[in-house]
Structure 1
Amino acid sequence: MEYLSLRQTAEKWGLSVRRVQTLCITDRIPGATKIGSYWAIPVDADKPKDERIKSGKYIKKQGKMK
């Protein structure tokens, strides 16, 4: 199996290196493995859907305030 680095994956998907690193840390890229201090991402890995909040509203369940 062939692997790409964080930088190569970021260029391929049009994302920042930091964003790809965050996706690896949160297990959002299947097959991504950490080798020492480097991430190895499979060549055939699909770009995960962006699930960040873009509306500017933070979604939080409201509890009863006393």
Structure 2
Amino acid sequence: MKYLSITQTAERWGISTRRIQILCGEGRVPGAIRIGSVWGIPENAEKPADARIKSGKYIKKPAENEK
């Protein structure tokens, strides 16, 4: 099985490297392994759903001065 670095995975998924570190630490990336002080993420791993957003989509509310 081929593993990708956090930087490679960040480019592929379109999120920050720090967010991927958090997801790996929480055990939300299936198959991710710790190699010393870095994470190895399986090449075929899929981006986990964002649990911070309950509805499944982000809805940006307009600021008061944009109305």
TM-score, with length taken from structure 1:
0.79
Q: What is the alpha-carbon distance in structure 2 between the residues aligned to residue 25 and residue 33 of structure 1?
A: 10
- 1:27 and 2:50 matched: no
Q: What is the alpha-carbon distance in structure 1 between the residues aligned to residue 6 and residue 21 of structure 2?
A: 7
Q: How does 1:44-59 map to 2 (within 5 A)?
A: 44-53=44-53
- 1:7 and 2:7 matched: yes
Q: For structure 2, list consecutive stretches of 5 or more residues without a partner in the other structure.
A: 60-67
Higher helix residue share: 2
Secondary structure of 2:50's aligned partner: coil
Aligned-pair CA distance for 1:29: 0.2
Q: For structure 1, list consecutive stretches of 5 or more residues without a partner in the other structure.
A: 56-66
Question: For this pair of structures, how many residues does the alignment match?
Answer: 55
Secondary structure of 2:34's aligned partner: strand
**RMSD over equivalenced CA pairs, Å:** 1.3
Instruction: Read off the aligned partner of 1:35 and give its amino acid letter.
Output: I
Q: What is the alpha-carbon distance in structure 2 between the residues aligned to residue 48 and residue 13 of structure 1?
A: 10
Q: What is the alpha-carbon distance in structure 2 between the residues aligned to residue 24 and residue 7 of structure 1?
A: 13
TM-score, with length taken from structure 2:
0.77
Instruction: Read off the aligned partner of 2:14 and give its amino acid letter.
Output: G
